[in-house]
Amino acid sequence: MFNEDDIPDFIKAGKIAETARDRSKKIVKPGAKIIDIAESIEGWIKEEGGSFGFPANISINNIAAHYTPPFDDTSEIPEDAVVKIDLGASVNGCVGDTAYTLDFSGEHGKLLEASEQALENIINHIKSGINVGELGEIAEETIAGKGVRVIRNLSGHRIERNLLHGASVPMIKGYKGWELEEGMAIAIEPFASTGNGNVKEGARTEIFMFQRDILTRNLDARNLLENIKREFKTLPFAERWIIRDQQTFKWRLAMRELITRGALHPYPVLLESAGSRVAQFEKTLLVEKDSCRILT
């Protein structure tokens, strides 16, 4: 079940995401400011004619996912860091979602290989009619074969127009799920870890998504929610995109109201155990009859 009309938009979005991803590889290095990396990536997405699928995620070491810098972030990529860059470009709500990892320690080659090889093995097995459970088995076995762990509670996902996280594609063995069909767009992202293979939500949240309308007397909150719905629809956005140096306090209060009232869905940072390292490679794929087309 899919809409033919979505395919050209997914193809365009994939190309834009791929271009931004490949350009970013030149600027991600120890000492680089994290905010500069995020803003460069987002700038390239716009330059290529896309809109944001979600904020650029720059997740370091045991942070597995969902870190995007606040507007006043002054931090830099540390020496010896394992850095995940995850970005998304949207064309009319169809998102190309892609990620890669760089290891500046020189000590985690196997870890990166585990994630990248798992992704490649899955790509080689994708075809219409395959059960997603088979893909999870490939992920877990490939990663375990490299002597590290798959993160069990992070999954790939189907992508539909204006729905980044559709039906999930678990990356573990022993799961019987749904079947892929020709024309579906899916994102595959097996996470490999030197930790215990589980992520927990951290205290910080920089990424949110519209969840539902609420009634509020707070005019700022009402206006903000209307702006969020118009600009980002049902795709994730960064608090940084809303709270800039002008009127910071006012917008922070409005954001708090929307979050506590459940109008926004929060995506807290996801953490593996202290001292561990996490690698992630991700591509968006279009399922074909006997294989798949790589969109990013």
Does residue 220 carry a catalytic annotation?
no
Closer of 207 and 258 to Mn ion (Cβ)? 207
Binding test (CB under 5 A) with Mn ion, winner from 6, 9, 97, 206: 97
For the CB of residue 95, give the shortest distance to Mn ion in the complex, in Å: 9
Stretch that binds Mn ion, among 91-99, 116-124, 166-174, 222-230 (CB under 5 A): 91-99
For the CB of residue 257, give the shortest distance to Mn ion in the complex, in Å: 29
Stretch that binds Mn ion, among 95-103, 176-184, 244-252, 255-263 (CB under 5 A): 95-103
Does residue 231 carry a catalytic annotation?
no
For the CB of residue 157, give the shortest distance to Mn ion in the complex, in Å: 6
Does residue 86 carry a catalytic annotation?
yes
Total residues binding Mn ion (CB under 5 A): 5
Phi/psi for 93 (5° steps) reads 90, -5
Closer of 149 and 158 to Mn ion (Cβ)? 158
Query: Which of 68, 66, 8 minimizes the C-alpha distance to 35?
Result: 68
For the CB of residue 96, give the shortest distance to Mn ion in the complex, in Å: 10
For the CB of residue 247, give the shortest distance to Mn ion in the complex, in Å: 31
Closer of 34 and 99 to Mn ion (Cβ)? 99
Give yes or no for residue 86 binding Mn ion (CB under 5 A). Answer: yes
CA 127, CA 131: separation in Å to the nearest integer?
A: 9
Helices 248-260 and 219-232 sit at what angle, rounded to 10 degrees? Answer: 80
Does residue 5 carry a catalytic annotation?
no
What does the per-residue mask of binding to Mn ion show for 182-201, with x meaning CB under 5 A?
Answer: -----x--------------
According to CB under 5 A, which residues from 257 to 286 bind Mn ion? Answer: 282
Closer of 40 and 101 to Mn ion (Cβ)? 101
- The secondary structure of the chain, three-state, reads CCCCCHHHHHHHHHHHHHHHHHHHCCCCCCCCEHHHHHHHHHHHHHHCCCEEEEEEEEEECCEEECCCCCCCCCCECCCCCEEEEEEEEEECCEEEEEEEEEECCCCCHHHHHHHHHHHHHHHHHCCCCCEHHHHHHHHHHHHHHCCCEECCCCEEEEEECCECCCCEEECCCCCCCCECCCCCEEEECCEEECCCCCCEEEEEEEEEEECCCCCCCCHHHHHHHHHHHHHHCCCCEEHHHCCCCCCHHHHHHHHHHHHHCCCEEEEEEEECCCCCCEEECEEEEEECCCCEEECC
Q: Which of 9, 137, 189, 206 is catalytic?
A: 189
Q: Which of 97, 116, 134, 239 is catalytic?
A: 97
For the CB of residue 135, give the shortest distance to Mn ion in the complex, in Å: 14
Does residue 282 carry a catalytic annotation?
yes
Closer of 40 and 98 to Mn ion (Cβ)? 98
Q: Which of 42, 108, 137, 157 is catalytic?
A: 157
Q: Which of 6, 66, 140, 165 is catalytic?
A: 165
- As to burial, measured by CB atoms within 10 angstroms (0-12 exposed, 13-18 middle, 19+ buried), residue 39 is middle
Q: Which of 86, 140, 257, 272 is catalytic?
A: 86
Does residue 103 carry a catalytic annotation?
no
Question: Interface with Mn ion by CB under 5 A: which residues?
Answer: 86, 97, 99, 187, 282
Catalytic positions, please?
86, 97, 157, 165, 189, 282
